[in-house]
Structure 1
Amino acid sequence: MSRCLLLVVAFSIAIEAAGPSWGTWGLWSLECASCPGAISRGRTRVCIPGDDLSTCSGSRIELEQCQNCTGQWSEWVDGGECSDTCGHCGRITRTRQCVNAAGCPAATCEGLDTEPSPTACDSGEVCLFPRVACCEGVKTASVLDKRFYCHKE
Protein backbone atom coordinates (compact mmCIF):
# COMPACT_ATOMS: atom_id res chain seq x y z
CA MET A 1 0.00 0.00 0.00
CA SER A 2 2.85 2.38 0.65
CA ARG A 3 3.88 1.91 -2.96
CA CYS A 4 0.56 3.32 -4.25
CA LEU A 5 0.71 6.21 -1.85
CA LEU A 6 4.14 7.10 -3.14
CA LEU A 7 2.86 7.18 -6.75
CA VAL A 8 -0.01 9.47 -5.82
CA VAL A 9 2.33 11.88 -4.09
CA ALA A 10 4.70 11.96 -7.10
CA PHE A 11 1.78 12.56 -9.47
CA SER A 12 0.44 15.34 -7.29
CA ILE A 13 3.79 17.10 -7.29
CA ALA A 14 3.95 16.95 -11.11
CA ILE A 15 0.48 18.52 -11.40
CA GLU A 16 1.30 21.34 -9.05
CA ALA A 17 4.46 22.13 -11.01
CA ALA A 18 2.50 22.72 -14.27
CA GLY A 19 1.67 26.44 -14.21
CA PRO A 20 0.15 28.70 -16.85
CA SER A 21 2.13 29.49 -20.02
CA TRP A 22 1.69 31.53 -23.19
CA GLY A 23 1.43 30.00 -26.64
CA THR A 24 3.39 31.49 -29.54
CA TRP A 25 2.38 34.84 -31.03
CA GLY A 26 0.08 34.67 -34.04
CA LEU A 27 0.63 36.52 -37.31
CA TRP A 28 0.29 40.30 -37.48
CA SER A 29 -3.25 41.36 -38.39
CA LEU A 30 -2.17 43.41 -41.43
CA GLU A 31 0.85 44.92 -43.06
CA CYS A 32 1.13 48.65 -42.39
CA ALA A 33 2.41 49.30 -45.91
CA SER A 34 -0.54 47.52 -47.54
CA CYS A 35 -3.13 49.49 -45.60
CA PRO A 36 -2.61 53.25 -46.18
CA GLY A 37 -3.73 55.30 -43.20
CA ALA A 38 -3.39 52.44 -40.71
CA ILE A 39 -2.36 53.62 -37.24
CA SER A 40 -1.38 50.27 -35.75
CA ARG A 41 -1.46 46.54 -36.29
CA GLY A 42 -1.80 43.73 -33.78
CA ARG A 43 -1.32 40.07 -33.02
CA THR A 44 -2.51 37.76 -30.26
CA ARG A 45 -1.41 34.72 -28.30
CA VAL A 46 -3.28 32.13 -26.26
CA CYS A 47 -2.86 31.51 -22.53
CA ILE A 48 -2.60 27.85 -21.62
CA PRO A 49 -3.90 27.85 -18.03
CA GLY A 50 -2.17 25.99 -15.26
CA ASP A 51 -3.62 22.84 -13.79
CA ASP A 52 -5.11 24.89 -10.99
CA LEU A 53 -6.82 27.06 -13.70
CA SER A 54 -4.52 29.99 -12.96
CA THR A 55 -4.05 32.44 -15.80
CA CYS A 56 -0.96 33.89 -17.46
CA SER A 57 0.44 37.24 -16.48
CA GLY A 58 0.91 39.87 -19.18
CA SER A 59 -1.15 40.80 -22.21
CA ARG A 60 -2.54 38.47 -24.84
CA ILE A 61 -2.55 41.31 -27.40
CA GLU A 62 0.52 43.06 -28.83
CA LEU A 63 0.14 46.29 -30.80
CA GLU A 64 2.73 47.93 -33.01
CA GLN A 65 2.47 51.48 -34.32
CA CYS A 66 2.53 51.87 -38.10
CA GLN A 67 4.90 54.45 -39.44
CA ASN A 68 3.79 56.84 -42.14
CA CYS A 69 5.08 54.95 -45.15
CA THR A 70 3.90 57.33 -47.82
CA GLY A 71 6.84 57.89 -50.15
CA GLN A 72 7.88 61.04 -51.95
CA TRP A 73 8.39 61.27 -55.71
CA SER A 74 11.84 62.20 -56.99
CA GLU A 75 12.19 64.81 -59.73
CA TRP A 76 11.25 63.76 -63.28
CA VAL A 77 14.17 62.57 -65.43
CA ASP A 78 13.97 62.53 -69.24
CA GLY A 79 15.29 59.43 -70.94
CA GLY A 80 15.21 57.55 -74.20
CA GLU A 81 14.74 58.74 -77.76
CA CYS A 82 12.22 61.14 -79.22
CA SER A 83 9.05 59.26 -80.21
CA ASP A 84 8.48 61.21 -83.47
CA THR A 85 10.31 63.47 -85.93
CA CYS A 86 7.80 66.11 -86.98
CA GLY A 87 4.90 68.40 -86.08
CA HIS A 88 5.85 68.82 -82.42
CA CYS A 89 4.40 65.31 -82.01
CA GLY A 90 7.51 63.70 -80.54
CA ARG A 91 7.91 63.15 -76.81
CA ILE A 92 10.60 61.66 -74.62
CA THR A 93 9.42 59.34 -71.87
CA ARG A 94 10.33 60.64 -68.45
CA THR A 95 10.51 58.66 -65.22
CA ARG A 96 10.60 59.28 -61.48
CA GLN A 97 11.24 57.13 -58.41
CA CYS A 98 9.12 56.61 -55.29
CA VAL A 99 11.54 57.28 -52.45
CA ASN A 100 10.99 55.46 -49.14
CA ALA A 101 10.69 57.36 -45.90
CA ALA A 102 13.24 56.38 -43.25
CA GLY A 103 12.28 53.14 -41.50
CA CYS A 104 9.71 52.07 -44.09
CA PRO A 105 10.34 48.80 -45.92
CA ALA A 106 8.24 49.68 -48.98
CA ALA A 107 6.74 53.10 -49.50
CA THR A 108 3.86 53.80 -51.84
CA CYS A 109 3.33 56.93 -53.92
CA GLU A 110 0.19 58.03 -55.73
CA GLY A 111 0.43 58.50 -59.48
CA LEU A 112 2.47 57.03 -62.30
CA ASP A 113 6.22 56.61 -62.41
CA THR A 114 6.45 57.20 -66.19
CA GLU A 115 4.81 59.69 -68.55
CA PRO A 116 5.53 61.48 -71.81
CA SER A 117 7.44 64.73 -71.39
CA PRO A 118 5.08 67.73 -71.68
CA THR A 119 7.33 69.43 -74.23
CA ALA A 120 7.96 68.28 -77.79
CA CYS A 121 11.42 67.00 -78.67
CA ASP A 122 11.33 67.07 -82.48
CA SER A 123 12.43 69.84 -84.86
CA GLY A 124 8.93 71.18 -85.42
CA GLU A 125 8.89 70.67 -89.18
CA VAL A 126 5.41 69.80 -90.46
CA CYS A 127 4.46 66.17 -90.90
CA LEU A 128 3.73 65.02 -94.44
CA PHE A 129 0.30 63.97 -95.68
CA PRO A 130 -1.66 61.82 -94.74
CA ARG A 131 -0.61 62.73 -91.21
CA VAL A 132 -1.80 65.81 -89.43
CA ALA A 133 0.67 68.60 -90.19
CA CYS A 134 1.06 69.78 -86.58
CA CYS A 135 0.26 68.04 -83.30
CA GLU A 136 0.90 71.33 -81.47
CA GLY A 137 0.90 74.89 -82.70
CA VAL A 138 -0.10 76.20 -86.11
CA LYS A 139 1.39 75.63 -89.54
CA THR A 140 3.61 78.53 -90.61
CA ALA A 141 5.95 79.09 -93.54
CA SER A 142 9.56 80.20 -93.40
CA VAL A 143 10.45 82.25 -96.46
CA LEU A 144 14.16 81.98 -95.69
CA ASP A 145 14.21 78.18 -95.32
CA LYS A 146 11.42 77.59 -97.83
CA ARG A 147 9.86 75.14 -95.35
CA PHE A 148 6.74 74.80 -93.27
CA TYR A 149 7.01 74.62 -89.48
CA CYS A 150 4.65 74.10 -86.62
CA HIS A 151 4.79 77.31 -84.64
CA LYS A 152 3.68 77.21 -81.03
CA GLU A 153 1.49 80.12 -80.12
Structure 2
Amino acid sequence: MHLDDIDLALLRALNKDGRLPAAELAAQANVSRGTVYARLERLRRAGVIRNFSIDVDHQQLGLHVTALVLVSAGQFRWREMSGELAALPEVQYAGYLTGGFDIVLLVRVRDTETLRAFVLEKLQGIPGVRSTQTLTVVEEVVDRPSIVPGE
Protein backbone atom coordinates (compact mmCIF):
# COMPACT_ATOMS: atom_id res chain seq x y z
CA MET A 1 0.00 0.00 0.00
CA HIS A 2 1.31 3.43 -0.92
CA LEU A 3 1.22 5.94 1.94
CA ASP A 4 1.16 9.60 0.97
CA ASP A 5 1.99 12.68 3.05
CA ILE A 6 -1.55 12.87 4.47
CA ASP A 7 -1.50 9.24 5.61
CA LEU A 8 1.89 9.75 7.23
CA ALA A 9 0.78 13.00 8.92
CA LEU A 10 -2.23 11.22 10.41
CA LEU A 11 -0.12 8.29 11.60
CA ARG A 12 2.49 10.60 13.14
CA ALA A 13 -0.19 12.55 14.99
CA LEU A 14 -1.85 9.38 16.28
CA ASN A 15 1.51 7.95 17.26
CA LYS A 16 2.04 10.93 19.57
CA ASP A 17 -1.52 10.88 20.94
CA GLY A 18 -3.84 8.07 19.92
CA ARG A 19 -6.83 9.88 21.43
CA LEU A 20 -6.75 12.94 19.19
CA PRO A 21 -10.23 13.82 17.92
CA ALA A 22 -10.88 13.89 14.18
CA ALA A 23 -11.05 17.70 14.19
CA GLU A 24 -7.53 17.95 15.63
CA LEU A 25 -6.21 15.30 13.25
CA ALA A 26 -7.78 17.21 10.36
CA ALA A 27 -6.12 20.44 11.49
CA GLN A 28 -2.71 18.79 11.83
CA ALA A 29 -2.93 17.11 8.41
CA ASN A 30 -4.60 20.16 6.81
CA VAL A 31 -7.57 18.13 5.53
CA SER A 32 -11.29 17.85 6.31
CA ARG A 33 -12.71 15.63 9.05
CA GLY A 34 -14.38 13.53 6.36
CA THR A 35 -10.99 12.93 4.79
CA VAL A 36 -9.62 11.90 8.20
CA TYR A 37 -12.39 9.35 8.71
CA ALA A 38 -11.98 7.95 5.18
CA ARG A 39 -8.19 7.74 5.43
CA LEU A 40 -8.22 6.08 8.86
CA GLU A 41 -10.77 3.52 7.68
CA ARG A 42 -8.65 2.80 4.58
CA LEU A 43 -5.51 2.41 6.72
CA ARG A 44 -7.38 0.11 9.09
CA ARG A 45 -8.82 -2.05 6.28
CA ALA A 46 -5.38 -2.31 4.66
CA GLY A 47 -3.86 -3.51 7.95
CA VAL A 48 -1.57 -0.50 8.40
CA ILE A 49 -3.47 0.37 11.58
CA ARG A 50 -3.93 -2.97 13.30
CA ASN A 51 -5.63 -1.78 16.48
CA PHE A 52 -5.92 1.05 18.96
CA SER A 53 -4.32 0.43 22.32
CA ILE A 54 -3.07 2.11 25.45
CA ASP A 55 0.47 2.83 26.59
CA VAL A 56 0.88 1.74 30.20
CA ASP A 57 3.64 2.27 32.73
CA HIS A 58 4.69 -1.29 33.55
CA GLN A 59 6.29 -0.18 36.81
CA GLN A 60 2.93 1.20 37.96
CA LEU A 61 1.39 -2.19 37.17
CA GLY A 62 3.90 -3.89 39.44
CA LEU A 63 5.97 -5.35 36.60
CA HIS A 64 9.35 -4.23 37.89
CA VAL A 65 11.60 -6.60 35.92
CA THR A 66 12.06 -6.43 32.17
CA ALA A 67 14.23 -8.97 30.37
CA LEU A 68 15.20 -10.03 26.90
CA VAL A 69 15.31 -13.79 26.70
CA LEU A 70 17.21 -15.35 23.80
CA VAL A 71 16.04 -18.85 22.95
CA SER A 72 17.77 -21.59 21.02
CA ALA A 73 15.11 -23.95 19.74
CA GLY A 74 14.67 -26.85 17.43
CA GLN A 75 13.83 -25.44 14.02
CA PHE A 76 11.43 -28.27 13.31
CA ARG A 77 8.99 -26.80 15.89
CA TRP A 78 9.10 -23.07 15.16
CA ARG A 79 5.55 -22.90 13.78
CA GLU A 80 4.09 -24.78 16.76
CA MET A 81 6.08 -22.65 19.18
CA SER A 82 4.42 -19.44 17.95
CA GLY A 83 1.16 -20.37 19.64
CA GLU A 84 2.87 -21.57 22.79
CA LEU A 85 4.84 -18.33 23.13
CA ALA A 86 1.73 -16.22 22.46
CA ALA A 87 -0.03 -18.05 25.31
CA LEU A 88 2.57 -16.91 27.87
CA PRO A 89 1.17 -13.75 29.52
CA GLU A 90 4.65 -12.59 30.55
CA VAL A 91 5.73 -12.22 26.90
CA GLN A 92 5.15 -8.75 25.46
CA TYR A 93 7.01 -9.41 22.20
CA ALA A 94 8.39 -12.47 20.45
CA GLY A 95 10.35 -12.58 17.21
CA TYR A 96 12.25 -15.17 15.24
CA LEU A 97 15.92 -14.34 14.60
CA THR A 98 18.82 -15.08 12.36
CA GLY A 99 22.18 -15.77 13.97
CA GLY A 100 23.15 -17.69 17.08
CA PHE A 101 19.69 -17.75 18.66
CA ASP A 102 16.33 -18.57 17.11
CA ILE A 103 13.91 -16.43 19.15
CA VAL A 104 13.99 -13.23 21.18
CA LEU A 105 11.37 -12.53 23.84
CA LEU A 106 10.62 -9.27 25.64
CA VAL A 107 9.38 -10.37 29.04
CA ARG A 108 7.86 -8.29 31.85
CA VAL A 109 7.38 -9.76 35.33
CA ARG A 110 6.95 -8.73 38.95
CA ASP A 111 10.36 -9.74 40.32
CA THR A 112 13.43 -11.89 39.74
CA GLU A 113 11.81 -14.94 41.35
CA THR A 114 8.98 -14.73 38.82
CA LEU A 115 11.52 -14.31 36.01
CA ARG A 116 13.38 -17.41 37.21
CA ALA A 117 10.17 -19.44 37.29
CA PHE A 118 9.20 -18.16 33.84
CA VAL A 119 12.54 -19.13 32.25
CA LEU A 120 13.27 -22.37 34.07
CA GLU A 121 9.77 -23.79 34.37
CA LYS A 122 7.51 -22.31 31.72
CA LEU A 123 9.87 -21.51 28.86
CA GLN A 124 12.31 -24.38 29.21
CA GLY A 125 9.33 -26.70 29.65
CA ILE A 126 8.24 -26.05 26.05
CA PRO A 127 9.28 -28.95 23.80
CA GLY A 128 11.98 -27.86 21.40
CA VAL A 129 13.58 -25.23 23.66
CA ARG A 130 17.23 -26.23 23.83
CA SER A 131 18.73 -23.34 25.80
CA THR A 132 18.09 -19.76 26.88
CA GLN A 133 20.10 -16.68 27.71
CA THR A 134 18.44 -14.00 29.84
CA LEU A 135 19.45 -10.34 29.68
CA THR A 136 17.92 -8.18 32.40
CA VAL A 137 17.15 -4.60 31.40
CA VAL A 138 18.50 -2.14 33.97
CA GLU A 139 16.99 0.99 32.40
CA GLU A 140 14.64 1.52 29.48
CA VAL A 141 15.90 4.42 27.39
CA VAL A 142 13.58 4.39 24.35
CA ASP A 143 10.14 2.77 24.31
CA ARG A 144 8.12 3.90 21.30
CA PRO A 145 4.67 2.48 20.59
CA SER A 146 5.55 2.40 16.89
CA ILE A 147 7.76 4.10 14.33
CA VAL A 148 6.25 6.16 11.52
CA PRO A 149 8.56 7.26 8.67
CA GLY A 150 9.44 10.93 8.78
CA GLU A 151 9.25 11.36 12.55
TM value normalised by structure 2: 0.22
Q: Which has the higher helix share?
A: 2
Asked which structure has the greater CA Rg, the reply is 1
Q: Which has the higher contact order (CA 8 A, sep 6+)?
A: 2
